[in-house]
Homo-oligomer: A and B are copies of this chain.
């Protein structure tokens, strides 16, 4: 199967190289920006690729929703299989692309969009065919895991941890998509859609790591806890729950063993029990290896990750109650149902009574809108 590549950045180069090594796959033309076609295998006109009958599949590794969506649609209409690492594209337009792919008898796969080299979505899509998925989620963003790990093990403050991550290539110059939790949120959206045929596009809750301080980390450590940014999803009545938030885990929890920029994705099958997958969630070759795995799946005849009737829903995050750790101005502690509190100057460190995920996130939003500086994390698994 001949595979054209759209984009020739970090991941594109990796995909192109791996295609040349692969047995049953061939590297087709590579689409680059105008003026960048400095080799015979590079082209600047998508039409050349779509009109080429020898090209069977297209791997999109450009990023961004447009023009990727336009290119994806055109490729599927031309009957080419479509594989992508672009989570923003699949989160925004995956439902439409799935329908278009099926109309045209072409594949639509996106393992590399969630977890880089970690085969999370692939195994989830296979498991749900014969087993009920009770819950899913995990550490789905390497940038934030690197930072939280560095703040803890190297005693760095937030700014130092971010600089360190950027120096190592684990964080972008503009890290907001990662540190805000948005990257992890998009991934849990995709995972819910694969497991439940419901893509939560509304009502999601998202808390990143932008508020954590070195003092917070020192406090957790003194109590034997490690902070990780976790994405969670599951069935919730007729809908699904989906959120991202920091979680404090007791030493010894598997998530504490996830260091640096590694990811840990997991799901619990009713029959299989808990299945945990760990690996590198980003980077040239890990991400490219996931694209190549999807292409191998197409060769075997596995063409889709979204079922026929996959559709958008509003998430329902009212169902799950948790205990939260909240560090906030002492004057505002009354806004939360407090189980215990430790005063520290003007600041108080609270452990709440059980409250819904919705209530916690909404309360935090409200307090911040009123100018309060606060950090919160769910406690335990």
A binding-site residues for B, Cβ under 8 Å: 14, 18, 21-25, 117-119, 122-123, 126-127, 129-131, 252-254, 256-257, 269-280, 283, 285-286, 288-290, 292-293, 295-297, 300-302
Contacts and interface: CB of A to CB of B under 8 A. Distances in A.
A289 B271 contact: yes
Contacts of A290: 272
Contacts of A295: 130
B278 A130 contact: no
Contacts of A127: 119, 289, 293
Contacts of A283: 273
Given A279-B276, A280-B272, A293 B119 contact: no
B275 A117 contact: yes
A377 to B, nearest CB: 21
B273 A275 contact: no
Given A276-B278, A301-B301, A119 B130 contact: no
A293 B128 CA distance: 9
A119 B296 CA distance: 17
A122 B277 CA distance: 13
A269 B287 CA distance: 12
B126 A297 contact: yes
A273 B286 contact: yes
Contact of A130 (B131, B270, B293): B293
A123 B130 contact: no
A131 B280 CA distance: 15
Contact of A271 (B126, B273, B286): B286
Contacts of A289: 127, 130-131, 269, 271-272
Contacts of A297: 126, 300, 302
Contact of A257 (B119, B257, B273, B277): B257
Contact of A252 (B25, B257, B285, B301): B257
A272 B296 contact: no
Contacts of A23: 129
Nearest to A14: B271
A43 B114 CA distance: 46
Given A300-B301, A300-B302, A130 B25 contact: yes
A210 B285 CA distance: 42
A270 B321 CA distance: 42
Contact of A254 (B123, B278, B285, B292): B278
A24 B272 CA distance: 19
Contacts of A129: 22-24, 292-293, 296
Nearest to A17: B271
B278 A273 contact: no
Contacts of A277: 275-278
Give 10 closest A-B pairs by Cβ, nearest first: A301-B301, A130-B292, A271-B285, A272-B289, A300-B302, A276-B278, A117-B272, A271-B289, A275-B279, A129-B296
Contacts of A253: 257
7 contacts: A117-B273, A119-B123, A271-B285, A271-B288, A276-B278, A277-B277, A300-B300
Contact of A273 (B122, B130, B280): B280
A272 B119 CA distance: 10
A23 B129 CA distance: 8
Nearest to A252: B257
